[in-house]
Structure 1
Amino acid sequence: MGGETRRYIDPTERRSRLALRHRLTPDTRAASPEEVAGSLVALHGTDPATVYLAVGARLADAAQTVARTERALYTDGTLLRMHGMRHTVFVFPADLTAVVHASTGLTIAARERATLLKDMAKAGAPDAAWLTAVEESALAALARRGQATAVELALDEPRLKEQFGYATGKSYAGTHTVSTRLLKVLGLEGKVVRGRPLGSWTSNQFRWAVAPGHPQLAVPEAQSTLLGRWLACCGPATEADLKWWTGWKVTDVRRALAAIGAREVTVDEGPAYVTADDAGPVAAPAEPWAALLPALDPTAMGWRQRDWYLAPDLRAPLFDYSGNVGPTVWWNGRVVGAWAQRPDGDLTWRALVPGGVGREAETAIDAEVTRLRTWLGPARVTPRMRTPAERELSG
């Protein structure tokens, strides 16, 4: 990773890499949702609608977005929704589930189970043996049913309905149901996955299913594989970017970088890394491009240090208080505005950069609005994480 002269990769080239590798130009759009997910490593899945909107923005035949994404998720099983980096729900290509589970999920799962048992003990709830019995019974019921909601599972295993208090005396004190916490732990442990939602593709209510089997990988091997996949689509990235995206310790990041023979380069923020065969220059896209990306889109959220594509002045209107990005308008690799859907279904956008974006950009962005409006049809999409710009535009 060192020794040779580091090549400087300027913001213009970084934006070119982003455009081409994230399939945001018309001539790089994907043929399938699986190709989209593979190009991005993971689709942010905390908000179910984000998965479809992120795919639709990058799919050559956007009219097939919903049908093909649902098929990949719930019929073919080529995409899987599960917890991953930073304790967040993502949709991954099926061939990455073992990698994500070993590289990230196991550590989070152990911590989450310990926290659950600690909270139960503080509340005077039953012990670990009781929880294990409930877990085994719930998994057996889920296997019999195929897919089920937590409410349906509680019909077979009533102990799932039991409640216990947490954070007594704190401002955030409350009550947890065993099913809510236990199913989350089982998801992190790779024992269950989110299944088909109740209602439409925008629904936040999911069924659960027993997770498909996958090989057990060594943690260092899995971390190296995941980091290599991500750097291939998002490099160059700084150590801060890598640590933030993975949620790993810096020692894990550095070990994985060494294992894949990552090349060290320089960006405006300082030292950064690309894969071993990716240090050469990348040409700019053939044509200017525009995109409407959804809240929590993996491109907008991909790096911790974002000044090269998102001006600091735009953060206040485009992010919520927890750091979640809202719907963004892009022009040639930069975030230039926000978009939203009004209650009547109409789509609207606004430039947020000083002086506007110019006639060419406005025309291209309007074309993307029309493209999105066409495949959305009558669907109504409100982000789970509301931002100031999105709230104002949606009316």
Structure 2
Amino acid sequence: MKTKKDLLTIFAMMVLLTFSSFAQEGINREILPIVEPEPQTYTELDVRNTKPPARFSVTAPKDAPNVVIVLIDDLGFGATTTFGGPIKTPTMDKLANNGLRYNNFHTTALCSPTRMALKTGRNHHTTNTGSIMETATAYPGNTGSLPASVAPLAEMLRLNGYSTAAFGKWHETAAWETSVSGPFDRWPTHQGFDKFYGFIGGETDQWAPLIYDGIKKVNPPKMENYHFTTDMTNQAINWVKAQQSMTPDKPFFIYFATGAVHAPHHVSKEWSDKYKGKFDKGWDVIREETVAKMKKMGIIPENTNLAPKPKDIKDWDKLSDAERKVFARQAEVFAGFMEMTDYEVGRLMDAISDIDEMDNTLFIFVAGDNGTSAEGGMVGMYNEMTYFNGVEEKVEDLLPLLDHWGDEGT
């Protein structure tokens, strides 16, 4: 199995694949924006005896591929079937089985730094993203402000003739720059994206999200059983079909960053109930099964030992019945949320196939910007606001709410 050492590898691969025809076309793409040639000098006095030159426009290199990056939020390495885990991800499986499955992909431990590194090819401190945007300071490397010396990938592609669009989560703009008053210099549409539809911060309610279209606040569309993941997929599908119908010779770059599986874990019972009873065996057994599958699939070496649990995590068989019931249901909802998200990524893939562009698309599915999140504490939370207000949620508080876990009230 092939491996890659860090985010720079994937970035370099995209740039090299996209701009490999520099020499043949005679355009200097190493300095952006591409400089328009000096205008031709005319000596003819009568315009009727001249022919106008071809209009200058920047086009992508011949046969430049489309690029799609799917980034899942807060997903552990061993969660999905693609990497030996219990959560079904047929779309990711299909991509892995027909492409490359990387098992040495390095991210940071936090959301914003990983995203900024991914979309610039630079160390996250170089991009001033030493932490998440909400905890940025005036310390060097953690100001939350992308310096002008660092070029975003989307801007590099746009200035080389690509159409560019971002859908879903952003979380790369300092908190004090995210109001309707701006400044908008570090919003998506000022960072190389022609189109943005999603939420600017780190999370949002998936049933009633705070959405921006470009820099304009918009209301979610009225649709039965609305869910943001479905909405952002619809937006991406509509955009790419329109883009290719209007400019079929122009490659596209789609950055598709889901709110899943970051909290809040919002998903309908249609998805979460698929996992009813699947986690009743407990995390000790599932950990052992996952490592065994990883070895069988060649994802980890045969001599890999299962890492010990943190001391604060009890053995499953030593938990109370109430604890096991709560934790199993929480896992069911998390798993359903991920499988639903994988399904929506599949819809985007199908749409690209429908316009006969899949074979010319570099499709990258990143299974997690970091590991799973710890915001829920040791027992999980039904209402995240309790944490911010210093209110402790206990297992006995959560038990009566399990039938509603994942719905609009969560």
Q: TM-score range by the shorter chain?
A: under 0.3
Question: TM-score normalised to the size of structure 1?
Answer: 0.26
TM-score of the two chains, using structure 2 as the length reference:
0.26
Structure possessing the higher radius of gyration over alpha carbons: 2
